[in-house]
């Protein structure tokens, strides 16, 4: 049942992503593109529902993975909408990544209505004067439908060039443009001027979107508290009929609900606070209540303006997983202290809370052994206390968010550390590794499906060239190590040493 629910949610999100992004560049029906992309998960989920005890044939895994992207790309190409031809090939390549507003963070309506305003000869001369030859040697200006591209050679360090050029341009154009600093596919830095939809100098400015809706956030929080408390009571062994006759039994679910909401809430609140620190437009954290499964599909914030630089991308991204993890560990330790040991069942699962094999995760196994001591030995499983279940879910959420793919937190982190081009390569490698892991451990099939549909290209920052400092690079490597120790099964030698 849980697999079907998650599959339906994933299918819906995939359709929305295709509708918002791909439908703009092709006449091929959205439902047909969605069906082509959904071929692998449709086949895989169908197999596991009809043959839960049998391993999936290798051909059934790899053939859909090969055919699906080929069919998907072919369907896009046969219906592709031919854009206005740019002035040259280099400008075409640059245009693909020059507009950070052409994404889900800012509505498509904004990006369509705000075309590049023409600049007169006096303004073009002033534009050229904004580029001192000792900072950035400007060679060419190209005018595209959505951007003015300034192409040349970087003559100084990126961290010095961007603020200098940005300051000069703002003196000429005020807040009329967003100043973007990125690299071409060949690694050549360039500047782009994109119309600022929030500019006070644009007469056709759209009404300001209200970002903070505290009443909505509070209502969703209380609804999520209710749904997770009911699920927590059921996890504690309270039957629905008992709740009807004795409503006070719902309080049995508070250890689970409060722990889970604290983990998820701190995760999103950490994102939010760092976004506010960098003056990035963002919504409040919103919870998603559901009356089944875990009682919630988590929480989210929606960022509505571009990131100023890669440092901001990194800090906002890593704050969530680390903040949630710092709450997860004490909650998990507390819950494990009240859990008890049971015999290992014949068939184990990552979501089998009444008899969980802690050896699924290196970190979980070590923590369980430290807390439970000699009680936990080989061939024994753990019946998790409700608080331990919340902590265990916190570990899973941390690991999933740290996956270095696309618009997940981990994707933002590797983008900030290595740049957008290398981050795409890391994301593709991660996808392949997760598919291989799913073949060995079937419970990771859903993770592999999620990563397949996750866009591997992260949205660029305004200054997407200046690199991080060494301290942030080390913190980023720590986050990747944390991902590994959560996902890595307990090695046999370590298990023998720990008597597990």
By C-alpha distance, which of 339, 338, 349, 449 is closest to 400? 449
* Mean pLDDT on 4-27: 68
- The DSSP symbol for 181 reads E
Model confidence at 3, pLDDT cuts 50, 70, 90, reads low
Q: Answer yes or no: are the C-beta atoms of 481 and 363 closer than 8 Å.
A: no
* Mean pLDDT on 33-55: 77
Which residue has better confidence, 17 or 247?
247
95: pLDDT strictly greater than 60: no
4: pLDDT strictly greater than 90: no
Model confidence at 113, pLDDT cuts 50, 70, 90, reads very low
* Mean pLDDT on 175-197: 86
- For strand 340-343 and strand 380-383, is the pairing parallel, antiparallel, or unpaired? antiparallel
Q: Answer yes or no: are the C-beta atoms of 368 and 388 closer than 8 Å.
A: no
Burial of 123 by CB count in 10 Å (0-12 exposed, 13-18 middle, 19+ buried)?
A: middle
* Mean pLDDT on 253-260: 94
By C-alpha distance, which of 329, 313, 372 is closest to 498? 372
- What's the Cα-to-Cα distance from 235 to each of 253, 340, 353, rounded to whole Å? 8, 15, 9
Which residue has better confidence, 86 or 437?
437
Model confidence at 271, pLDDT cuts 50, 70, 90, reads very high
Computed over every residue of the chain, the mean pLDDT equals 83
115: pLDDT strictly greater than 60: no
Which residue has better confidence, 53 or 380?
380
Q: Please compute, for residue 175, the number of CA atoms within 13 A of its CA located in the half-sphere on the CB side.
A: 9
pTM for this prediction: 0.77
Which residue has better confidence, 416 or 440?
416
Q: Answer yes or no: are the C-beta atoms of 157 and 112 closer than 8 Å.
A: no
Say which residues have a Cβ less than 8 Å from residue 71's Cβ, sequence separation at least 6: 36, 39
Q: For residue 22, what pLDDT is reported?
A: 67
* Mean pLDDT on 455-484: 90
Which percentage of the chain shows pLDDT scores above 90?
A: 41
- What's the Cα-to-Cα distance from 251 to each of 223, 243, 428, rounded to whole Å? 15, 10, 45
For 193-217, how does the pLDDT look when each residue is reduced to its tens digit (9 = 90+)?
Answer: 988 877 765 544 455 556 678 899 9
Which residue has better confidence, 97 or 143?
143
Q: For residue 185, what pLDDT is reported?
A: 67
- Return the top range by mean pLDDT from 41-55, 159-173, 442-456: 159-173
* Mean pLDDT on 398-418: 92
Q: For residue 86, what pLDDT is reported?
A: 42
Model confidence at 445, pLDDT cuts 50, 70, 90, reads confident
Q: For residue 337, what pLDDT is reported?
A: 94
Q: For residue 41, what pLDDT is reported?
A: 76
- Cα separation, 119 vs 122, in Å, equals 8
Which residue has better confidence, 21 or 468?
468
Q: Please compute, for residue 482, the number of CA atoms within 13 A of its CA located in the half-sphere on the CB side.
A: 24
For 220-229, how does the pLDDT look when each residue is reduced to its tens digit (9 = 90+)?
Answer: 999 999 999 9
Which percentage of the chain shows pLDDT scores above 70?
A: 84
For 344-383, how does the pLDDT look when each residue is reduced to its tens digit (9 = 90+)?
Answer: 888 777 778 889 999 989 999 999 999 998 898 888 999 9
């Amino acid at each position: 049942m849980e697999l079907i629910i998650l599959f339906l949610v994933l299918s819906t999100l995939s359709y929305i992503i295709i509708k918002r992004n791909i439908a703009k560049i092709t006449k091929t029906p959205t439902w047909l593109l969605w069906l082509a992309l959904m071929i692998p998960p449709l086949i895989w989920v169908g197999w596991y529902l009809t043959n839960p005890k049998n391993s999936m044939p290798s051909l059934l895994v790899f053939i859909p993975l090969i055919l699906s992207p080929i069919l998907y790309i072919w369907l896009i190409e046969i219906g592709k909408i031919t854009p206005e031809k740019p002035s040259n090939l280099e400008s075409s390549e640059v245009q693909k990544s020059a507009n950070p507003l052409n994404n889900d963070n800012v509505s498509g309506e904004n990006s369509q209505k705000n075309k590049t305003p023409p600049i007169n000869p006096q303004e073009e001369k002033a534009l050229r004067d904004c580029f001192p030859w000792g900072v950035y040697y400007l060679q060419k200006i190209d005018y595209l439908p959505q951007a003015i591209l300034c192409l040349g050679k970087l003559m100084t360090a990126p961290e010095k060039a961007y603020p200098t050029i940005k300051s000069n341009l703002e003196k000429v154009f005020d807040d009329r443009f967003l100043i973007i600093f990125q690299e071409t596919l060949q690694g050549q830095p360039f500047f782009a001027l994109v119309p600022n939809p929030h500019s006070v100098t644009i007469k056709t400015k759209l009404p300001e979107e209200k970002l903070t809706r505290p009443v909505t956030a509070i209502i969703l929080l209380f609804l999520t508290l209710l749904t997770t408390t009911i699920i927590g009571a059921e996890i504690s062994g309270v039957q629905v009929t008992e709740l009807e006759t004795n409503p006070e039994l719902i309080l049995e679910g508070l250890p689970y609900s409060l722990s889970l909401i604290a983990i998820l809430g701190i995760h999103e609140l950490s994102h939010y606070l760092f976004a506010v620190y960098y003056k990035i437009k963002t919504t409040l954290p919103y919870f998603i209540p559901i009356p089944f499964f875990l009682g919630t599909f988590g929480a989210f914030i929606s960022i509505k303006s571009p990131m100023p630089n890669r440092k901001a991308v990194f800090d906002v991204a890593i704050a969530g997983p680390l903040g949630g993890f710092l709450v997860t560990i004490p909650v998990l330790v507390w819950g494990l202290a009240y859990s008890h040991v049971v015999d290992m069942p014949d068939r184990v699962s990552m979501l089998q809370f009444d008899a969980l094999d802690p050896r699924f995760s290196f970190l979980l196994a070590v923590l369980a052994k430290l807390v439970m001591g000699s009680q936990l030995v080989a061939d024994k499983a753990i019946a998790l206390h409700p608080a331990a279940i919340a902590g265990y879910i916190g570990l899973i959420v941390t690991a999933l968010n740290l996956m270095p793919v696309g618009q997940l937190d981990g994707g933002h982190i590797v983008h900030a550390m290595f740049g957008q081009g290398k981050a795409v390569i890391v994301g593709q490698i991660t996808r392949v590794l997760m598919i291989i892991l799913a073949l060995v451990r079937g419970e990771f099939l859903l993770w592999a499906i999620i990563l397949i549909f996750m866009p591997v290209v992260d949205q660029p920052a305004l200054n997407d060239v200046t690199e991080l400092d060494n301290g942030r690079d080390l913190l980023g490597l720590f986050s990747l190590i944390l991902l590994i120790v959560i996902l890595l099964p307990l090695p046999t030698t370590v298990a023998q040493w720990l008597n597990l």
